[in-house]
Each structure stands twice: as structure tokens, then as C-alpha cells.
């Protein structure tokens, strides 16, 4: 790209660089979009309430690397709705100061667009885009109040007010990118014009997830995985991910296949429960918990997987787009994923991955057994999955889809 044609894409994350601990997908997806934009336009920056960063720097976010806070005895006596209310109040307060934007001195002709991750409270993206007279894109993983209700978090009266606030924010966007059909329908129900909305599922930076055999060899030795068949999972230990189902399925399967090892990479609220289950099943020598790893370390762990699992406790309300699914495929790993949400509409069972019925442990076992017992098919499906990911599931593909949508409806 020539200097004359160079532009900057501006990405706004409406919290601090230490936010979303335990929900790193928020940062990874933003870094992916921004990296693709930088390659296309020449430059991209990610702005938070406390700093301006490059796409590569955002891959190390959140900057707070501590563990998720444990509840103390006093906090446990406070009603849940009060804790949620004060958490919301703190979030609102922490996201009001946007002095950092005043330091950005861009002209209209220098900027491609302003992109902002949708959050509970309105960020500065709309006003900043107006100032520059450029398109404003709101990126929606899910409306916050609506998604929280799915996981049993109720905000009662103030939740209704906040959802109206969310709706007002979304309606002001020029374009609304959503990760799934279910999220699209929800934002339309909230009053957003269908002509503004397009589906942009999670994607992958294939450059980060290409196979690295040397790293795999070193890590296999470090984790004592030589001669083992490694079933792997990455993510956050949350109830809807159903990692306990994966452990139970593994327990039954490992009786027939003593060479199996389950490698669980991540952290989260349900981890302690999963550890207790492993101890109860006497599988301590068969299941490895690595703890939290930074995103830049994840590709190395994926390289040692002989089978990669996207887990889910249920297909009901499966509205999200699994980031790890595309990462596994790009790394040329055989994938076992739930027959839920967008997945069966985009991927073909037995062609580029294998599906199981979410919530059914026997189906999960059958899926793992399929790969273990069919090494040739395992390799074919892995190759097919990688080809599909590289042609349809990269951040470049999603950015081009967005640019085409803007050109069509501007």
C-alpha cells in the first residue's frame, strides 16, 4: 500500500486495558479485526479508556494477569442483585473518562472507519465517528442484559432500563455486526433496522495457528505426553461450556483407551468443581489442568492436541460464535463440536469436523471414539477443516464482508 492511500481504522473498547479478565475472547476478536484492518488500510489502533495500542499489543490483554477474585465470607452474604447493581455502577463510572481520545489528531481523509465493541454502557464511538464524518460500526458479541439473563444473572427493574439504553446505542450505529443469527434477531427485536445488521462470526488469524512441530515436541516432553493421545480443550471454565461433561465422557472412554490424556487449558469459576470431579473419578494422572495461559501461548498448546473439543452443556440458547473452533481448524486439528447454534449451518458433520449432541455424554463419547478409531478419516477431516478455515473463517474474510456491506448500504 502506498503512503498516499494509507488510512487508519480506529477500534474502541469501551473499558480499560485490564477489563474482561476471564473473557479474553473480547480482546482476541478485537485484535483480529484490527490486525486485518492494518493489513488492508495500512494502520489500525485500539483505544481503551487508559491507552492506545497496536493490534499486536492487544493480544496480550487484559493487562491484569491476576486470578479471578474469590468470594470472601462477608461478600457471600450480600444479595446477588445488590452485587450486580454495584458492579454495573462501577463499570459505568470507570467508562466515563475519554480524555485519551482528545490526543488522537486524525483528519477525515485519514480514517477508514470507527469500530466499537458494544457494551452495557455507550462508548464514545458514535460521537467520534461524527466528528470525523466516517462510518461507525458497532460490533456485538451479544446484548449484555439479554445474555446475562441466559446465564441466570437478573438485573430486575434497572435491567429493563439498561436494555433500553443498549437499544438506543445500537440504533445510533451506521452498521451493526453480530456474531450469530440469534444475536441478529435479538438486536432487530430491540429496534435496530434490519438493513443495518449483518452477521460476522468469530474468525481466526491463521498466521498464529499454523502448525509448529518444534513447539509441539518441546511441550509434549514438558507435559510428559510422549506416546499419548491428547484430547484438548481451551477456554474459560463456565457452566455453559460443560467441561464437567467432557470429563465424565473422558472417564468412560479412558477405560478402553489407556493412552488417552485430557489437557484442559484455561481458568474460570467452574474450575474448582472440575478438579473435584477429577479427584472423585481418580483421574488425576490422566487429566492435566494448565491454568490460565496468555493468548499468544495458546497456539503452542493447540499444537499438541490429537483431538480438539468445543464443549457445551446444552444446545438451548446457544447464541455465541466459538472462537476456539476456528482456531482449532486453522491449526489443522480434528474438531469435535456441539450440534448447536450456527455450527451445523456453517460446518459439515463428517467432512470438516464431527458433531455431537450437546448435553449428551454418550454422544460426546461416540464422537471421540470416532476419531480414535478412524485415523485416516481423522487426517482427512483435519485437512478439510483447515482448508475451510483459511478460505472462509479468517479476520480478513470478515473485514471484507464488512466493507462490502458498507459499500452496498451506505
Spatial contact of 246 and 262, defined as CB atoms under 8 Å apart: yes
User: Sign (positive/negative) of CA torsion 81, 82, 83, 89?
Assistant: positive
Residue 136 to residue 409: CA distance in whole angstroms? 13
Q: Which residue in the block uniquely carries the three cell numbers 452485587?
A: 83
The residues, ordered by sequence, that sit 6+ positions from 73 with a Cβ below 8 Å of its Cβ are: none
* Residue 54 and residue 115 in one domain: yes
pLDDT at 23: 85
Q: How are strands ordered across the β-sheet holding 111-117? A: 52-53, 42-47, 7-12, 111-117, 136-140, 175-178, 197-199
* Residue 403 and residue 295 in one domain: no
DSSP-assigned letters across all residues of 221-259: HHTT-TT-EEEEEEEE--GGGTHHHHHHHHHHHHHH-TT
Specify if 208 maps to a domain. no
The enclosing domain of 193 has a CATH number of: 3.40.50.2000
* Residue 100 and residue 233 in one domain: no
Residue 10 to residue 129: CA distance in whole angstroms? 9
pLDDT along the chain (410 residues), means of 10: 75 94 91 97 96 95 65 58 85 88 90 97 94 97 91 82 94 97 96 96 90 72 93 94 96 96 95 97 96 91 96 88 94 96 93 96 97 97 96 96 89
* Residue 226 and residue 166 in one domain: no
DSSP-assigned letters across all residues of 40-99: HHEEEEEE-SS-EE-HHHHTT--S--SPPPPPPHHHHTS-HHHHHHHHHHHHHHHTS--G
* Residue 11 and residue 137 in one domain: yes
Residue 11 to residue 114: CA distance in whole angstroms? 6
* Residue 316 and residue 247 in one domain: yes
* Residue 132 and residue 186 in one domain: yes
Helix or strand or coil: residue 348? coil
**What domain range is 237 assigned to?**
213-392
* Residue 196 and residue 333 in one domain: no
Specify if 104 maps to a domain. yes
* Residue 176 and residue 152 in one domain: yes
Specify if 363 maps to a domain. yes
Which helix (H) or strand (E) segment holds residue 176: the answer is strand 175-178
Q: What is the phi/psi pair of residue 67, to 5°?
A: -75, 155
CA angle, 141 then 245 then 285, to 5°: 115
pLDDT at 40: 96
* Residue 34 and residue 168 in one domain: yes
Specify if 197 maps to a domain. yes
* Residue 36 and residue 179 in one domain: yes
Specify if 14 maps to a domain. yes
Specify if 7 maps to a domain. yes
Spatial contact of 397 and 357, defined as CB atoms under 8 Å apart: no
* Residue 138 and residue 224 in one domain: no
* Cell numbers representing residue 96 in the block: 466515563
* Cell numbers representing residue 200 in the block: 460476522
Amino acid at each position: 500500500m502506498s503512503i498516499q492511500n494509507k488510512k487508519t481504522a480506529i477500534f474502541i473498547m469501551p473499558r480499560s486495558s485490564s477489563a474482561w479478565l476471564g473473557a479474553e475472547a473480547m480482546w482476541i476478536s478485537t485484535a483480529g479485526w484490527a490486525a486485518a484492518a492494518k493489513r488492508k488500510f495500512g494502520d489500525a489502533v485500539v483505544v481503551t479508556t487508559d491507552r492506545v495500542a497496536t493490534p499486536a499489543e492487544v493480544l496480550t490483554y487484559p493487562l491484569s494477569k491476576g486470578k479471578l477474585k474469590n468470594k470472601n465470607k462477608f461478600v457471600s452474604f450480600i444479595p446477588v442483585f445488590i452485587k450486580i447493581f454495584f458492579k454495573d455502577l462501577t463499570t459505568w463510572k470507570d467508562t466515563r473518562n475519554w480524555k485519551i481520545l482528545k490526543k488522537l489528531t486524525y483528519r477525515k481523509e485519514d480514517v477508514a472507519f470507527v469500530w466499537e465493541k458494544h457494551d452495557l454502557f455507550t462508548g464514545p464511538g458514535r460521537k467520534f465517528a461524527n466528528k470525523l464524518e466516517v462510518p461507525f460500526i458497532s460490533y456485538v458479541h451479544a446484548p449484555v442484559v439479554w445474555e446475562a439473563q441466559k446465564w441466570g444473572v437478573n438485573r430486575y427493574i434497572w435491567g429493563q432500563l439498561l436494555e433500553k439504553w443498549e437499544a438506543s446505542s445500537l440504533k445510533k450505529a451506521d452498521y451493526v455486526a453480530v456474531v450469530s443469527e440469534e444475536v441478529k434477531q435479538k438486536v432487530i427485536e430491540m429496534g435496530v433496522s434490519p438493513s443495518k445488521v449483518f452477521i460476522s462470526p468469530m474468525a481466526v488469524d491463521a498466521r498464529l495457528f499454523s502448525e509448529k512441530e518444534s513447539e509441539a515436541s518441546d511441550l509434549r516432553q514438558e507435559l510428559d505426553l510422549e506416546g499419548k493421545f491428547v484430547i484438548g480443550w481451551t477456554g474459560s471454565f463456565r457452566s455453559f461450556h460443560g467441561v464437567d461433561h467432557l470429563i465424565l465422557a473422558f472417564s468412560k472412554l479412558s477405560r478402553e483407551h489407556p493412552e488417552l490424556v485430557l489437557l484442559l487449558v484455561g481458568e474460570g469459576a467452574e474450575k474448582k468443581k472440575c478438579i473435584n470431579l477429577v479427584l472423585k473419578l481418580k483421574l488425576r494422572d490422566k487429566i492435566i489442568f494448565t491454568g490460565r495461559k496468555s493468548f499468544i501461548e495458546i497456539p503452542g498448546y493447540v499444537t499438541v492436541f490429537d483431538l480438539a473439543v468445543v464443549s457445551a452443556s446444552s444446545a438451548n440458547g446457544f447464541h455465541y460464535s466459538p472462537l476456539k473452533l476456528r482456531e482449532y481448524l486453522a491449526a489443522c486439528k480434528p474438531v469435535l463440536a456441539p450440534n448447536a447454534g450456527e455450527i451445523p449451518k456453517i460446518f459439515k458433520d463428517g467432512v470438516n469436523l464431527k458433531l455431537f449432541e450437546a448435553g449428551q455424554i454418550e454422544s460426546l463419547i461416540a464422537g471421540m471414539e470416532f476419531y480414535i478409531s478412524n485415523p485416516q478419516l481423522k487426517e482427512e477431516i483435519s485437512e478439510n477443516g483447515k482448508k475451510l478455515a483459511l478460505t472462509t473463517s479468517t479476520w480478513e474474510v470478515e473485514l471484507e464482508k464488512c466493507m462490502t456491506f458498507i459499500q452496498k448500504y451506505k
